[in-house]
């Protein structure tokens, strides 16, 4: 058994998985550094994050924000989920609901959005021009999915790799849906970890 694990480890190493993880962890660190730096400067010189999200809570219906979030998570991950996580803290304080419950509601909606992306991908394969455009534009993601399979789904669920696009590609390539269901659950881990950091800002 140990021999097979060693061989698998060597394969993953040769395939570039660990280098890919290193690059994306570095990217994650840079994104967080920029995010926290921007928030610090905004809070110090312009407006506090609490005031920004209080304004959103007061002027935009919560259901509308959730609809926008689901749309974003279902179609190419247009908006970063981190801002929505911070929004749940302010909304929870405003309506008397535990922000962690709202965060895991967001995680569930993100997970469902990913599954919608999978089914969109499964339909796209039957439209030649769109299929050709997607395979050309996201060629590297296709290559990574073929090399790493389930690992890549987990990586996209946890790191700033576009989750919805990866699951759309899973649909296009007919990656087994049951594995998408299981491995996509790591999305909840990502939201929980990010919330631990982001809730300290507001």
Give residue-wise pLDDT tens across range 64-108. Answer: 878 888 888 887 666 778 778 877 877 777 777 888 998 999 999
Q: What pLDDT is recorded for position 8?
A: 59
**Other CB atoms closer than 10 Å to residue 15's CB: what's the count?**
14
d(CA 183, CA 156) in angstroms, rounded, equals: 10
pLDDT value, residue 3: 67
Dihedral (CA of 128, 131, 137, 143) sign: negative
* pLDDT, tens digit, 9 for 90 and up, residues 145-164: 777 778 888 888 887 777 88
- Rounded Cα–Cα distance for residues 134 and 99 (Å): 37
Structural domain spans, the chain: 14-198
The answer on pLDDT for 112 being more than 90 is: yes
d(CA 163, CA 115): 10
Give CA–CA dist 40/48, Å, rounded.
Answer: 9
Looking at residue 114, its pLDDT comes to: 92
What is residue 150's predicted lDDT score, i.e. its pLDDT? Answer: 81
What CA–CA distance (Å, rounded) separates 13 from 17?
6
Residue 46 has pLDDT above 80, yes or no: no
> Which residues contact residue 21 at a Cβ distance below 8 angstroms, ignoring those fewer than 6 apart?
155, 159
């Amino acid at each position: 058994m140990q021999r097979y694990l060693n061989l698998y480890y060597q394969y993953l190493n040769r395939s570039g998985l660990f280098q890919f993880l290193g690059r994306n962890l570095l990217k994650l660190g840079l994104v967080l550094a920029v995010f926290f730096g921007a928030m610090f400067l905004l809070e110090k010189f312009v407006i506090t994050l609490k005031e920004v999200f209080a304004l959103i809570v007061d002027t935009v219906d919560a259901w509308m924000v959730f609809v926008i979030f689901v749309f974003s998570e279902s179609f190419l991950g247009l908006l970063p989920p981190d801002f929505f996580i911070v929004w749940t803290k302010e909304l929870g304080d405003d309506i008397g609901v535990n922000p962690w419950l709202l965060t895991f509601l967001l995680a569930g909606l993100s997970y469902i959005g990913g599954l919608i992306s999978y089914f969109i991908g499964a339909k796209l394969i039957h439209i030649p021009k769109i299929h050709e455009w997607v395979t050309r534009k996201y060629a590297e993601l296709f290559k990574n999915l073929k090399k790493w399979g389930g690992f890549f789904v987990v990586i996209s669920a946890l790191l700033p790799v576009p989750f919805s696009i990866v699951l759309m590609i899973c649909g296009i390539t007919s990656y087994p849906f049951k594995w998408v269901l299981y491995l996509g659950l790591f999305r909840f881990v990502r939201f929980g970890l990010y919330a631990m950091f982001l809730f300290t800002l507001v």
